Amino acid sequence: MRARAAGLLLGFAADRVLGDPQRFHPVAGFGTTAASLERILYADSRGRGVAHTALLVGGTVALGVAVERRAPRLLATVVATWAVLGGRSLEREALAVHAHLEAGDLPAARQRLTHLVGRDTDNLDESEVARAVIESVAENTSDAVVAPLVWGAVFGVPGLLGYRAVNTLDAMIGHHNARYENYGWASARLDDLANLPGSRLSGVLVLITMPSRARAAAYAWRRDARAHPSPNGGVIEAAFAGALGIRLGGTNTYYGERVEHRAVMGDGRDARTDDIAQSSVLARRIGLFAAISSALISIRGGWSARGRSPLG
C-alpha cells in the first residue's frame, strides 16, 4: 500500500499548492449528473431519495473500483485525492472574508461569506460573520480534508470518490426544508455515518496540534458537542472553540424563515476578525497531520480493488 500512501501525500500537497481544479472539476460534473437524476426521480418521498442516493453513490464507488483496477495506483490516488480535497479553497475563502473585515467592508464580507455558509448573512455583525467563518472552517476541515483522507487510506480511490459523492449529495439535498425533508433524508443520514470517523480524528488532531489549549478543547468537546444538531459538526466546532478560546454556536437564520438556535460551544469571548486567521492556521495543521496519519494507516493495509486482503 506504499503507492496509496504516497498518492495521498502527493494529492494533499497538490491541493495545498493548487487548490481545486479551476476547469472541468469532477465534483461539478457529479453535481450536474445528480441534478439531472433528481429531475427524473424527485418526489416528496424517502424511498425516492434512497434510490437517488444509492444510484449516485453506488455508481461513483463502482467508477472508483474500475479506476483503481486499470490505472496506475499512484497516479490514480494522486488525482483522486487532489480532486476530492477542499482544504486550500476553504482557506482562501475564509481569508477573503477576513480581508474584507480587516478593511472595514462589512457588506463585502457578508456577501463573500455566502460562499462558505448556507445561513442568511445580510444582517450579521462583524462578530457573527467571524463566528460563521470559523464554524465553516472547523466543519469543512473535518468534512473536506480529514474524512476523505481517512476513507482514502482504508479504501483507496473508491473510498475517496465514494465519500465525496456522499458529502456532495448532502450539500445538495440534505436540507431541512419543504422540498428535501424527505427526499434528502437518506443523503443526510449517510453523510452523518460517513463522517463519524473523520470528525473524531479531527477532534483528536485539534488536541495534538494545539497542545497548550488541549485541555480546554477536550473539555468543550466532552461537554458541548452532544448539544449540536449534527453528530459530527459538534465535535469539531466544540474542539475549535475550546482551542481558540472563543464561543461558537448561537442563532442562525436559513432561507429567510427557519430560525435555528444552536447550543453555545466553548466558554470564551465572542469571535473576532483575527480569530479567522487563527482558525485557518489550526485547520492547516490538522490537514497536514491528517495526511500523515492517513498515509501511515494505508501502509498498514486497506481494502484494494486489486485483490489485496483488507486491513493487513
Could you report the per-residue pLDDT of 288-308, keeping only the tens digit for each? 999 999 999 999 876 776 654
* Beta strands 258-261 and 251-254, pairing class: antiparallel
In this prediction the pTM is 0.92
Residue 310 counted as domain residue: no
Q: In whole angstroms, what is the distance from residue 173 CA to residue 57 CA?
A: 14
Strand residue runs (E) in 186-285 = 251-254, 258-261
What's the CA gap between 53 and 80, in Å, rounded? 21
- Please name every residue paired with 67 in a beta bridge, in sequence order, or none if there are none: none
Residue 21 pLDDT > 90: no
Q: Give the mean pLDDT of 1-22.
A: 92
The reply to whether 34 falls in a domain is yes
**158 domain-assigned:** yes
Q: In whole angstroms, give the CA distance from residue 44 to residue 33.
A: 20
The answer to whether the Cα torsion of 295, 141, 238, 233 is positive or negative is: negative
Question: What is the C-alpha to C-alpha distance for residues 173 and 179, in angstroms, rounded to an integer?
Answer: 9
Higher pLDDT, 176 or 49: 49
Classify residue 157: in a domain, yes or no. yes
How far apart (Å, rounded) are the C-alpha atoms in residues 138 and 280?
9
For 69, half-sphere exposure in the C-beta direction (CA atoms, 13 angstrom radius) is 9
- The whole-number pLDDT of residue 192 equals 96
Whether residue 305 is contained in a domain is answered as no
- Given this model, what pLDDT does residue 256 score? 73
CA–CA distance from 157 to each of 32, 60, 77, 296 (Å)?
A: 21, 10, 6, 16
Q: Quickly state the pLDDT bin for 312 (edges 50, 70, 90).
A: very low
**Per-residue model confidence as pLDDT tens digits over 91-134:** 999 999 999 999 999 999 999 999 999 899 999 999 999 999 99
Please state, as a whole number, how many other Cβ atoms lie within 10 Å of the Cβ of residue 298.
Answer: 25
Q: How many CB atoms lie within 10 A of CB 6?
A: 17
Cell, residue 196: 463519524
Domain membership of residue 311 (yes or no) is no
Task: Retrieve residue 90's grid coordinates.
Answer: 476553504
- Position 260 scores a pLDDT of 84
Pairwise CA distance, residues 143 & 166, whole Å:
11
- 57, 165 contact by CB (below 8 A): yes
Residue 143: all three cell numbers together: 468534512
- Encoded amino acid at 195, one letter: N
- Give how many domains the chain has, as a whole number: 1
With respect to residue 66, please indicate whether it lies within any of the assigned structural domains.
yes
Q: Give the amino acid at 67.
A: V
In a domain, 273, yes or no: yes
- Residue range 62-76: mean pLDDT, rounded: 95
Range list of β-strands (E), 122-269:
251-254, 258-261
Domain residues for the domain of 21 are 2-300
